[in-house]
């Protein structure tokens, strides 16, 4: 059984003391594919380091996280483009598997909304140019994210709606833009709500994620999350879909392969 964590920040400072142990725990639990989103240029070195240690398991993305869209966003976008070009020309075959995580976040700060919208659009266009999926971060900004997706919709727009927390209507709309729904720890929360309608969404539209070290599932809620806890998420989905863990693992990993091409 192969499990795929489509969104995990395994380079995070939260794992500085036990990164290898954390990754080995995940692998022992069957989680052997780690898709790793970017935040900004300050994390690039750490991302490359973990990829170097686990080249068969770690698949990197590049992008500018919406909460890190500040006055210097043009410099950050230039960094992303340079890294993309460098990887296109490297002899080792290393590549990025998505542009992410990108999107709009109005939970922490609304003062950079205009810049977040510009950067989101720019990164979508960058993904299309390089024939890559996008991985969307959306927090208290469904209307704003959908507005951008509507403007950019096309056959070459596809990806994952990371940490999906919307309504059934939002889910159908996200899927209409060729997005899979990234389902993580929130599905195990008593007030998470998505568990009340997820059975109305085919597993063909679902991928699994942890967003480690954030959003740990029950019974670890409030503690540091890690990729091994993907098994707690899949157990919840087993109850929702009334399918075996193996079948859910197979379907969701296939979905991840369809998105990331690996």
The predicted structure's pLDDT at residue 149? 98
Q: Name the β-bridge partners of 15.
A: none
Alpha carbons 209 and 157: distance in angstroms, whole number? 21
pLDDT at 142: 97
Which of 10-19, 38-47, 88-97 has the least mean pLDDT?
88-97
Chain centre to alpha carbon of residue 102? 9
pLDDT averaged over every residue in the chain = 97
Q: In this model, does residue 256 exceed pLDDT 90?
A: yes
Question: DSSP label at 155?
Answer: T
User: What is the pLDDT, as a whole number, of residue 123?
Assistant: 98
For the segment 243-262, the average pLDDT, to the nearest whole number, is: 97
**DSSP code per residue over 187-212:** GGSTT--GGGTGGGS-GGGEEE---T
Q: Which residue bears the tokens 């594919």?
A: 33
pLDDT band (50, 70, 90) for residue 192: confident
Question: For the segment 141-169, what is each residue's pLDDT rounded down to a tens digit?
Answer: 999 999 999 999 999 999 999 999 999 99
Residue 88 has pLDDT above 90, yes or no: no
Q: Is the pLDDT of residue 80 over 90?
A: yes
| Residue 232, pLDDT above cutoff 90 | yes
Per-residue pLDDT for 220 more than 90? yes
Distances (CA, A) of 29 to 22, 39, 182: 11, 27, 20
Q: Tokens representing 211?
A: 């967003």
Res. 89: pLDDT tops 90: no
Helix (H) or strand (E) run with residue 59 in it: strand 58-60
Is residue 11's pLDDT more than 90? yes
pTM: 0.97
Instruction: Give tens-digit pLDDT for 91-135.
Output: 788 999 999 999 999 998 899 999 999 999 999 999 999 999 999
Residue 60 pLDDT class (50, 70, 90 cuts)? very high
Residue among 127, 101, 131, 124 at smallest CA distance from 37: 101
User: Bridge-partner residues for 34, per DSSP?
Assistant: 5, 58
The DSSP letter of residue 62 is B
For residue 1, pLDDT beyond 90: no
Q: Using the predicted structure, report yes or no on whether residue 90 has a pLDDT greater than 90.
A: no
């Amino acid at each position: 059984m192969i499990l795929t964590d489509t969104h995990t920040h395994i380079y995070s400072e939260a794992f500085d003391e036990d990164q290898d142990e954390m990754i080995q725990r995940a692998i022992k639990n069957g989680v052997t594919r780690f898709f790793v989103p970017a935040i900004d240029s300050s994390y690039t070195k750490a991302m490359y380091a973990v990829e170097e240690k686990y080249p068969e398991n770690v698949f990197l993305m590049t992008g500018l996280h919406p909460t890190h869209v500040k006055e210097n966003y043009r410099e950050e976008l230039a960094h992303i483009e340079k890294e993309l070009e460098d990887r296109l020309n490297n002899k080792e075959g290393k590549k990025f598997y998505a542009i992410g995580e990108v999107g709009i976040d109005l939970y922490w700060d609304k003062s950079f909304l205009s810049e977040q919208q510009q950067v989101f659009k720019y990164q979508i266009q960058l993904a299309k140019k390089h024939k890559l999926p996008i991985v969307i971060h959306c927090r208290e900004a469904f209307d704003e994210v959908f507005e951008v997706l509507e403007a950019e919709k096309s056959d070459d727009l596809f990806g994952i709606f990371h940490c999906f927390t919307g309504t059934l209507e939002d889910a159908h709309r996200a899927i209409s833009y060729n997005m899979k729904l990234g389902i993580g720890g929130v599905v195990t929360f008593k007030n998470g709500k998505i568990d009340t309608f997820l059975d109305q969404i085919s597993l063909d539209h679902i991928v699994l994620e942890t967003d480690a070290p954030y959003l740990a599932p029950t019974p670890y809620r409030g503690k540091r999350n890690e990729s091994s806890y993907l098994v707690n998420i899949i157990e919840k989905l087993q109850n929702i879909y009334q399918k075996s863990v193996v079948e859910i693992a197979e379907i969701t990993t296939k979905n991840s392969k369809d998105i990331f091409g690996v």
